[in-house]
Amino acid sequence: MKRIISFIVTVLGLTIIMAVTTPGLLKDVRLGLDLKGGFEILYEAEPLMEGQQVTKEALQETAKSLQKRADALGTTEPEVTPEGTNRIRLKVAGVTDEAEVRKTMKEPANLTFRSNDGCKEGEEFCKIELRGNDFVENGASIAYDQLNQPMIDIKVKDKAKFAEITERLLGQELAIFMDDQLLSAPTVQAVLTDGSAQITGSYTLDEAKQIRDTINLGALPLKLVEKYSQSVGATLGMQSLTKTLQAGLLASVAILLFMIIRYRIPGLLASFALILHTWLLILVFVWADFTLTLPGIAAFILGVGMAVDANIITYERIREEIRTGKSVASAVKAGGKSSLRAIMDSNVTTILVAAVMFAFGTGAVKGFAIVLILEILISIATNVYFSRFLLNLLVRIGWAGKPSHYGVKERDIREL
């Protein structure tokens, strides 16, 4: 009786949990651009001027400035990620004007120091006094004044020019602009003839660092060359998603039907384990915030077939044992035991292959490998141990005690 209750509670409880949570989970799965539509560009960064090198800092700064520009576009969650030594990947969803995005992104970071010299009424900082390439590369650094207040040291290449500017603008503001965004507007305090200056102000350390990075980036702007771009219309993405999901759903139903017809009661349990397997996989996707892409879905659906393999191996083995004349209970025990090693060895080998793919693959290959590893791990839990637990319960209860429950005909059983 206790076993009947624990079986019913387990199955019913899980069914309810899955039924309640699935719609919400499905909504939370992050979709890749190929499914929700959007725009992806891979840039390769080259130094704007010859003879310079792309440093890690410069790449990161460029990525940051791209991120800012992308955020300014007003699209949802633009993603900018530096890759390797000289690449930056940009992903923007739901873009209506691609040409505009391309244009904004491609321009090198444009650092200017501007003044109000000769500006008309109402115009602010119209005159560009210095440009990014007027500064010494990596010449900006953080220093502290007597009050331990952070300030930024800068170095200019042309001393005479800088002296002229500071003389002309003495007591006026010299504003720092990144692209068209005002970062800071310090006032010129003295005429500076040695080409170096301190920007002081009540900056926090973070603000000071940001200005330093911006000036250094401006001094070494990177040219971005489009290496690869992919653009998927939102409706097209949806089409792919629904079509693939439909295919997956039908395939799953076909596999479940096959399992039930061939293996009867254990087949039913395997089907339940398979549904649980899929639900867990979605759960992990949402929790770990993985992005689901088309190859990912492909791996997902394919993995269902692989998970079912664990059950097929076990059940074929159990049927074999039953046919030799063993009692059902001992056949289940023996079949489970001897099939476990085959399942584990084959799964470990496949995980090994997937792990190498993950370590050495890029982009889509990595995503595929992750899904595959996850699937195998989850399938060991659900389609090996969980379905075995359920089957053992049923055998003890006596609901799965006849050879016919396993799809074995009486006349196939050998006499002992």
Partner 1 sequence: MSFKNFNYVGKSKIFFIFSIVITVLGLVFLLMRGLNYGVDFRSGSNVDISFKQQLTSEQVQPVLNEIGIGEDASITEGTDRINIRFSDVLSEDQDSKLRSAVQKLDPSATFEVNTVDPEMAKELGRNAIYAVLLSCIGIIIYVSIRFEWRFALAAIVALLHDAFVVVSIFSILGLEVDLTFIIAVLTIIGYSINDTIVIFDRIRENLRFAKIKRRSDLVELVNKSLSQTIGRSIYTALSVFIAALFMLILGGESIRMFSLAICIGLLIGAYSSIFIASPLWLVLKGKNVSNKPQKAVKPNKDKIEI
- Are 69 and 105 in contact, with CB atoms under 8 Å apart? yes
> Is 116 strand, coil or helix?
coil
* Residues from 82 through 121 that contact partner 1 (CB under 8 A): 98-99, 102-103
Q: Applying CB under 8 A, which of residues 18, 31, 32, 34 lies at the interface with partner 1? A: 34
Q: Applying CB under 8 A, which of residues 17, 20, 126, 353 lies at the interface with partner 1? A: 353
Q: Applying CB under 8 A, which of residues 144, 204, 356, 385 lies at the interface with partner 1? A: 356
Of the candidates 259, 286, 281, the one whose C-alpha atom is nearest the C-alpha of residue 271 is 259
* Residues from 290 through 329 that contact partner 1 (CB under 8 A): 294-295, 298-299, 301-302, 304-306, 308-309, 312-313, 316, 319-320
- Residue 260 as a binder of partner 1 (CB under 8 A): the answer is no
DSSP of 389-412, one letter per residue? HHHHHHHHHTTT-SGGGGT--GGG
Q: Which stretch binds partner 1 (CB under 8 A): 13-21, 122-130, 142-150, 248-256?
A: 248-256
CB of residue 324 vs partner 1: minimum separation in angstroms? 11
Q: Applying CB under 8 A, which of residues 1, 5, 359, 416 lies at the interface with partner 1? A: 359
- The size of the interface with partner 1 (CB under 8 A), counted in residues, is 75
Angle at 37 between CA 32 and CA 41, to 5 degrees: 75
- Are 325 and 413 in contact, with CB atoms under 8 Å apart? yes
Distance (Å, rounded) from C-alpha 374 to C-alpha 354?
Answer: 10
Q: Applying CB under 8 A, which of residues 338, 392, 396, 402 lies at the interface with partner 1? A: 338
Residue among 49 and 348 whose Cβ is closer to partner 1 = 348
Give the up-direction half-sphere exposure of residue 68: CA atoms within 13 A in the CB hemisphere: 14
- Residue 81 as a binder of partner 1 (CB under 8 A): the answer is no
End-to-end CA distance of the chain: 32
Residue among 39 and 177 whose Cβ is closer to partner 1 = 39
Other residues' Cβ atoms within 10 Å of the Cβ of residue 175: 19
Residue among 358 and 399 whose Cβ is closer to partner 1 = 358
- Residue 73 as a binder of partner 1 (CB under 8 A): the answer is no
* Residues from 371 through 400 that contact partner 1 (CB under 8 A): 372
- Residue 362 as a binder of partner 1 (CB under 8 A): the answer is yes
Angle at 286 between CA 281 and CA 287, to 5 degrees: 95
- Residue 25 as a binder of partner 1 (CB under 8 A): the answer is no
Q: What are 80's two structure tokens? A: 């900018």
CB of residue 305 vs partner 1: minimum separation in angstroms? 3
- Residue 224 as a binder of partner 1 (CB under 8 A): the answer is no
Distance (Å, rounded) from C-alpha 128 to C-alpha 113?
Answer: 6
